[in-house]
Amino acid sequence: MENMLQHSTCQSFGTDCKELIAMIKEPHIWPSFATKLERIETLMICFPDFNIIHVPRVRNQFSDFLAKTARSFHRKLHFIGCSIPVWLPSPPQA
């Protein structure tokens, strides 16, 4: 979300984590995540039309592949864009 504020006007986010959506909608039920949820709430204020939806994992395979590939770099990697960088390996075919 922090990177989106710097590089895009995106207002809608998707995740395959139902728990994350539950945490955002009812943060008082998740006291052990209070610090993280406070940061998310602060960021949400910056998005006038913030929206987060559940995207089933079967429809999220390409995004999951990109996230796992980015983690393999073992350093922070930020990419905001509408196309896939040419230097990323091709995802496995389903």
Query: 21 near 52, Cβ under 8 Å?
Result: yes
Round to whole Å and give the CA distance between 82 and 94. Answer: 22
pTM above 0.75, yes or no: no
User: Tens digit of pLDDT for each residue in 75-89?
Assistant: 766 655 656 666 666
Round to whole Å and give the CA distance between 41 and 68. Answer: 26
Phi, psi of 51 (to 5 degrees): -145, 135
pLDDT at 88: 62
User: Which of 2, 89, 92 has the alpha carbon at shortest distance from 43?
Assistant: 2
Compute the average pLDDT of residues 22-28.
Answer: 91
Q: Which carries the bigger pLDDT value, residue 76 or residue 15?
A: 15
Both structure tokens of 68: 């796992």
